[in-house]
Amino acid sequence: MVSYQLMIYKKGIGVVGGRGGDGCVSFRREKYVPFGGPDGGDGGEGGNVMIVCNPNLVDLSSLGRRKEFAAENGHRGERSRRRGGRGQDLVISVPAGTMVFSGATSDQETFLADLITPRQRVLAARGGRGGLGNARFATAVNQAPQIASKGGSGEKRHIILEVKLIADICIVGPPNSGKSTLLSAISKAKPEIADYPFTTRQPILGVMPGDKRDFIVAEIPGLVEGAHSGKGLGNDFLRHAERAKLLIYLLDGSSPSVFDDLGTLDKEIALYKDLSHKARIVAVSKTDLPEVRASLPAMQQCFAKVGVPIFYISAVSGEAVLELTRKAREMVEQASREEEMKAQAQMAVFRPKPRK
């Protein structure tokens, strides 16, 4: 029996910084040293809770069912003005592409960080300050203070983690349309390929080599009509398409209603989120099959009015796959350039003004 591990892409957790250690009340007691004076040390700071990007992870299941993450408390101050030890930081590892928000509900969310590069980190909850030892309270009028302050409590926050894999290209399409076969033809990924729907049950990434740089291609599980209301595997995986610069809509050429399948796919994606600003390519698969070949002229007529680049491909024979990948690279580069230009235009430029 094949067992599938449930992938987790969104999770709310509570994080608490460690409490600061209390300050210490103590007096120097030594032979031949009368009135040794106060020597209680300060408490150590509480540990911080850090969230760190670990590129070896693909989802949040490594966090288990744990809901609360607390860093270690700081240690108490000690005699002889010894400072208590600092509490250890608690490190939460998340996959590359994790967005971190703070806030209990989605309408109160504030964006904290987008963890993309390995070891990139964000402070989720700061540890409390250590309390002051009595040595700090000595004054000319009170040379033997009996007081020390308590350590401060650590910051407490509710954090929402959301993984959106970072791919340049995302292959979307109905189940069984040949997404995994295409992914394995254009990258080194080896996804499972089989003649039944929903073979792929979690996103798969592959690297497609390019002249100047490599491109990351993702396949997400198939989308059926009604995916927005949970049919099939649902439409939650579309979150990974949100970051892609190019979507390849891969349609099953052997389906009796290829053109309608495009409409269904479009509708399901629109019901998830408006992704219409993204660059798109439509590819019709399995052109090596005689029945698909026979219906090509009719399909071409229907698709002519769609207004996006269309390729009739066979990932098995390799037909038109090279042309498709060439166009895909070109469109990703173009989208990257446009994104860069937009980012530059949004960057505020402050120029010094002469004083009056």
Ligand X SMILES: Nc1nc2c(ncn2[C@@H]2O[C@H](COP(=O)(O)OP(=O)(O)OP(=O)(O)O)[C@@H](O)[C@H]2O)c(=O)[nH]1
Residue 181 touches ligand X, criterion: CB under 6 A: yes
d(CA 205, CA 240): 11
Residue 176 touches Mg ion, criterion: CB under 5 A: no
Stretch of 112-120, 124-132, 198-206, 332-340 lying at the interface with ligand X (CB under 6 A): 198-206
d(CA 353, CA 332): 40
Residue 200 touches Mg ion, criterion: CB under 5 A: yes
- For CA atoms 310, 311, 315, 316, the dihedral sign is positive
**Residue 234 binding result from ligand X, Mg ion, none, given CB thresholds of 5 to 8 Å by partner type:** none
User: Of these, 26, 220, 222, 244, which contacts ligand X (CB under 6 A)?
Assistant: 222
Q: How far is the CB of 252 from Mg ion (least distance, A)?
A: 12
d(CA 194, CA 200): 9
Residue 99's CB is within 10 A of a number of other CB atoms, namely 20
CA dist list (Å): 278 to 15, 146, 182, 242, 333: 36, 68, 21, 9, 13
**Residue 178 binding result from Mg ion, ligand X, none, given CB thresholds of 5 to 8 Å by partner type:** ligand X
Stretch of 2-10, 100-108, 192-200, 277-285 lying at the interface with Mg ion (CB under 5 A): 192-200
CB 183, CB 167: distance < 8 Å = no
Residue 178 touches ligand X, criterion: CB under 6 A: yes
CA dist list (Å): 43 to 148, 208, 338: 10, 54, 53
Residue 48 touches ligand X, criterion: CB under 6 A: no
- According to DSSP H, which parts of the chain are helical? 179-186, 258-272, 290-294, 296-303, 321-346
Residue 240 touches ligand X, criterion: CB under 6 A: no
* Contact pattern from residue 314 through residue 353 relative to ligand X, giving x for each residue in contact according to CB under 6 A and a dash for the rest: xxx-------------------------------------
CA dist list (Å): 8 to 162, 198, 264, 329: 9, 18, 27, 30
User: Of these, 85, 197, 232, 309, which contacts ligand X (CB under 6 A)?
Assistant: 197
Site of interaction with ligand X (CB under 6 A): 173, 175-181, 193-195, 197-200, 222, 285-286, 288-289, 314-316
Site of interaction with Mg ion (CB under 5 A): 179-180, 199-200
